[in-house]
Amino acid sequence: MTSEDAIFRPGLLKDKHILVTGGGTGLGRAMAERFLRLGAAVHICGRRQEVLEQSVGELRPLGPVHGWVCDVRQAESVERMVGDIWSHAALDVVVNNAAGNFLARTEELSPRAWQAVTGIVLSGTINVTMAVARRWLQANRPGIFLNISTTYASTGSAYVVPSAVSKAGVDALTRSLAVEWGPRGIRCNGIAPGAIRTEGAFSRLLPLPDLERKAMGHNPLHRFGTLDEFTSLAVFLVSDASAYVNGEVIVMDGGAQLQGAGGFTELGRSLSDEDWERLKPKKK
Ligand code: HXC
Ligand code: NAP
């Protein structure tokens, strides 16, 4: 039995309009699917049109879903998308899920490499948050933000430093805005998941078979999280069942963080100079 069968009643998210950034793949797509199954109308966005088209095509039988080509790093692109969404119906929930990341030795990062990750994770989250919240605040309308973080945001981690820095900023944003906008009906929470198998994350963060084995070995439960476990927490946090939860970033990682913080520190240290060379992007 999945936790969906166990806990969540059909129609729980009926009449909720939800935007999931980066909703064409991975955890974002899984949330989009789960929200649709529970009655929501869902918008997903990303940079790649073909990826969105495929996901929208697969998800459409489940309910109303719309794909938007939008680069969250570009404030104008975000403003255009949010304006277009609003011209049909106002959003009730936004999941800031889009991210960029890769394993690299920090001293080797170019300015563009820093910008690639911080632009998506930190600026992208801020761009989407501002465009939506201004509309909610102006209309005196309640709303919910759910920001997808990582466990190492609170501790830092070697070898994923642009991501750690950006996600720490996102967590600060979550907690700050929970207080600033809470009195005006806007809740802000986050989820800090441990490793959950997705193509996007595993191809960039655990790109060698040995790293996957080590990451699993580091986890007290000796397994990765599942999409079902992740989306169950997401549903709870975007539903009225969590109405009194505000400003929390909830860790769900099987206890990996408690076993030892900054999971990529240990993994990165196990790599040889030759491994690091192999992981560098191929010159275009
Ligand atoms: C060093 C790298 C690099 C790498 C790219 N760069 N990959 N540097 N090591 N592995 C550098 C490039 O050389 C370039 O700098 C600069 O970054 C920009 O690269 P582009 O490919 O032009 O950028 P862009 O097309 O914008 O792609 C952004 C990206 C890419 C972040 C680099 O990986 C991406 O699109 N990611 C989106 C999806 C994703 O990352 N998902 C994983 C999320 S998982 P120069 O100077 O050479 O021009 C996550 C948590 C996982 O966040 C936790 C798991 C437990
Ligand atoms: P993913 O499949 O690579 O998802 C990232 C998504 O973000 C993609 O759909 C990507 O689509 C989109 N995106 C990237 N840059 C964008 C931009 N500039 N504008 C709009 N969309 C953009 O990886 P994932 O594993 O599902 O990760 C989802 C979230 O979970 C991220 O916040 C990640 O940090 C977090 N997380 C994942 C894990 C894990 O183990 N999977 C663990 C901890 C945290 P395009 O490339 O088409 O734009």
> Over the stretch 8-35, which tens digit does the pLDDT of each residue have?
999 999 999 999 999 999 999 999 999 9
* Closest by Cα among 192, 76, 191 to 144: 191
81-107 b/e with 16+ CB inside 10 Å = b? bbeebeeeeebbbbbbbbbbbbbbeee
Among the bound ligands, name the one nearest to the CA of residue 77.
2
Identify the nearest ligand to the CA of 170 by its number. 2
If DSSP codes are grouped into helix, strand and coil, which group holds residue 155? coil
If one residue of 20, 21, 25 were mutated to test the ligand 2 pocket, choosing by the most ligand atoms within 8 A of its CB, it would be: 25
**H-helix or E-strand spanning residue 71:** none
Shortest-distance Cα residue to atom 33 of ligand 2: 99
Q: What is the pLDDT of residue 97?
A: 99
pLDDT score, position 1: 46
Three-state SS for 64?
A: coil
In DSSP notation, 77-146 reads: HHHHHHHHHHHH---SEEEE---------GGG--HHHHHHHHIIIIIHHHHHHHHHHHHHHHTT--EEEE
What pLDDT, on the 0 to 100 scale, is given for residue 130? Answer: 98
Nearest CA to ligand 2 atom 3: 200
Half-sphere CA count of 65, side-chain side, radius 13 A: 29
Quickly state the pLDDT bin for 261 (edges 50, 70, 90): confident
Pocket of ligand 1 (CB under 6 A): 99-102, 104, 110, 112-113, 116-117, 150, 163, 195, 200-201, 204-205, 279-281
3-state helix, strand, coil split of the chain in percent (to 5) is 55, 15, 35
The confidence score (pLDDT) of residue 164 equals 98
Which tens digits make up the pLDDT trace of 150-181? 999 999 999 999 999 999 999 999 999 999 99
For range 99-122, the mean pLDDT: 98
Does 152 qualify as catalytic in the annotation?
A: yes
State the pLDDT at residue 6.
Answer: 59
Exposure b/e, 205-222, CB count within 10 A at least 16 = b: bbeeeebbeebbebbeee
From the candidates 8, 152, 181, 236, which is the catalytic residue?
Answer: 152
Average pLDDT score over residue span 135-141: 98
- Give the CA angle between residues 61, 64, 70 to the nearest 5°: 115
* pTM, entire model: 0.98
Q: What is the mean pLDDT of the chain?
A: 96
> What distances in angstroms separate CA 117 from CA 95, 161, 246, one per listed residue?
18, 10, 27
